Amino acid sequence: MAFSGLLRPAVLAASRSPRVERAITRMPATKKMVDRFVAGETERDAVAVSSALLGSGRFVSVDYLGEDTTDLDRARGTVAHYLRLLSALADLRAVDEAPVPRLEVSLKLSALGQRLPQNGYAIAREHAYEICTAAKAAGVWVTVDAEDHTTTESTLAIVRELRLDFPWLGTVLQAYLKRTEEDCRTFAGPGARIRLCKGAYREPAAVAYQSRSAVDESYLRCLRILMEGKGYPMVATHDPALIGAALGHVRESGRKSGDFEFQMLHGIRDAEQRRLVGAGHSLRVYVPYGDQWYGYFMRRLAERPANIAFFLRSFGRDR
């Protein structure tokens, strides 16, 4: 426990290091781990994985990987990827008659230009609006991902603006941020879709809970607010205790399977995903794709000591 507690901040710090990125992306062992978490590099890869998941009774949320873009052309390139993805997903949507859309895309505003030095807010909002417009035509939902705390206020402000035209737009709140309990109260109204996760970035103690127990307690408080609210909670966790707590809230609130959903990551706890679906619950799998996988991959390593241990053993064999 102590080892993993020390190693996690180091791995998260490495996720922002170009030097470490160059070293890790060249390692043969890396590809095996990346293939576990990432669907592939192309829209075709993402659609193939999504089709298989839909066939198993699960929902999907597809994310084109990328973040912290400071180049306008690259931001436009990300929009183009989403437009191609939505066009491809529309073919899967043709057989989707569920009242809750089984297909969704997730997007990071920093990949759409949020961090551009000139007019980043307006550019990211315009790009997200374009993607939401295409998603609406395709019958696909959109959820705006959370990133580190420096983007939270800007992200939530853009979400509020976009929801005026796209009231089904979802967003992500991270339980490790101390502000999130109040954000849950703000966003728990009718029609709101909130994906509640623990949080995956390295954050200072001034804004985020640092211990696992404090994060779990915050998650439980936020979960209660969302379950007692009028929106559509999306319970993003692999933690058995939190899954159990969510099911308890469902029984207490009288929510049905179409009133909330579980969410898990592609490549993690597949048997549990299938068990929840078999028990009649809606479960959506977060499916990332693209060649900008390094930051996402490192955050997945940091989440579980077993992931880090497996990677380090593979690293040792490669040397």
DSSP string, 123-163: HHHHHHHHHHHHHHHHT-EEEEPP--GGGHHHHHHHHHHHH
Q: Which residues are annotated as a binding site for FAD?
A: 174, 198-200, 237-238
Q: What is the pLDDT of residues 151-166, one digit of tens each?
A: 999 999 999 999 999 9
Residues marked active site are found at: 145, 195
Q: Which residue has the tokens 């809230």?
A: 249
Of residues 148, 107, 110, the one with CA closest to residue 12: 148
Residue 206 has pLDDT above 50, yes or no: yes
Q: By the 8 A CB rule, do 288 and 63 touch? A: yes
Structure tokens at 195: 């994906």
Residue 175 has pLDDT above 90, yes or no: yes
Whole-number Cα distances in Å, 2 to 5, 10, 210, 213, 305:
5, 13, 13, 14, 11
Most confidently predicted of 17-26, 66-75, 85-94, 118-127: 118-127
Q: Is the CATH code 3.30.360.10 the one for domain 42-289?
A: no
Which pLDDT does position 4 carry in this prediction?
A: 46
More confident residue, 177 or 38: 177
More confident residue, 200 or 32: 200
Of residues 166, 101, 172, 85, the one with CA closest to residue 140: 101
Average pLDDT taken over every residue of the chain: 87
Q: What is the pLDDT of residues 280-318, one digit of tens each?
A: 999 999 999 988 767 777 676 666 655 555 555 544 444
Structure tokens at 207: 């804004």
Q: Domain spans of the chain?
A: 1-38+299-318, 42-289
Please give the average per-residue pLDDT across 188-213, as a whole number.
93
Distance CA 23, CA 30 (A): 10
Which pLDDT does position 83 carry in this prediction?
A: 97
**What percent of the chain is modeled with pLDDT above 90?**
67
